[in-house]
Structure 1
Amino acid sequence: MLLISLSKTQKLIADYVRDRRLLMELTQEGLAERSGVALSTLRKFEQKGLISLDSFLKILMVVGGMEQLLDALKPDKPAFNSIDDVLKQDDNLIKKRGRRK
């Protein structure tokens, strides 16, 4: 778990996308045209990190990173190989309940 604010995270994501755009030697206008995202939306995103999910995904389709994003969002697989592993895990669980006042 990262201890970073949402606004800082948004700005970092915008910086990463801008860096990818620059590595591709694309201008903001070029990326806006290729992605179908309005230039004003792209500028606001690069400055403040604010963008809709739809527009963000359109930009990622052009600059790359969609696969990495999807991989990062995959849920962790359970560490169970058999039903016996599941049953052993259930035996080790300690149920906790809050006290009543």
Structure 2
Amino acid sequence: MNKYSIDKLPGDVRLELARKHKKLRKQKGLSQNELAERSGVSLGSLKRFETKGQVSLESLLKLVFVLGRLSDFERVLEADNDLKHIEKLFDSKKKS
């Protein structure tokens, strides 16, 4: 974590994802070899992800698909559906 901010840094999030992934894999009773085979991700890539948090997006999505958690990524980068900022634009035009 950045010593000047309470926000997490990308590296913090990366390592946290790796830790959560490893825990979920173990909860599902899968070895690294089994998950690598089922997902089509190389064992080396899987090991690197679980130790260093480094993985391609494609490989990460393949891994979480096998773990039944691909839907967790569907909301990532979703546009904000809050229309209040649009309503403010119209309100300001009425006052003119």
Q: TM-score over 0.5 for the alignment?
A: yes
Structure showing greater Rg: 1
* Shift, 1:14, TM fit: 0.7
Q: Deviations for 1:18-45, whole angstroms, at most 9, x for unmatched residues? A: 1110110000000000000000100000
Match for 1:87 among 81, 87, 90? 90
Runs of 4+ in 1 over 6 A off after TM superposition: none
Q: Deviations for 1:37-79, whole angstroms, at most 9, x for unmatched residues? A: 0001000000000001111111011012211221243211132
Instruction: Tell me how far apart the structure 1 counterparts of residues 77 and 24 of structure 2 sit (CA, whole Å).
Output: 20
* Shift, 1:87, TM fit: 0.5
Equivalent in the alignment of 1:20: 24
Instruction: Tell me how far apart the structure 2 counterparts of residues 13 and 64 of structure 1 sit (CA, whole Å).
Output: 15
Q: Which runs of 5+ in 1 are unaligned?
A: 93-101
TM-score (normalised: structure 2): 0.80
Question: Quick one: percent identity of the two aligned structures?
Answer: 31
Q: Which runs of 5+ in 2 are unaligned?
A: 1-5
Match for 1:5 among 6, 9, 20? 9
Instruction: Tell me how far apart the structure 1 counterparts of residues 77 and 26 of structure 2 sit (CA, whole Å).
Output: 26
Equivalent in the alignment of 2:82: 78
- Tell me the matched-pair count: 86
TM-score (normalised: structure 1): 0.76
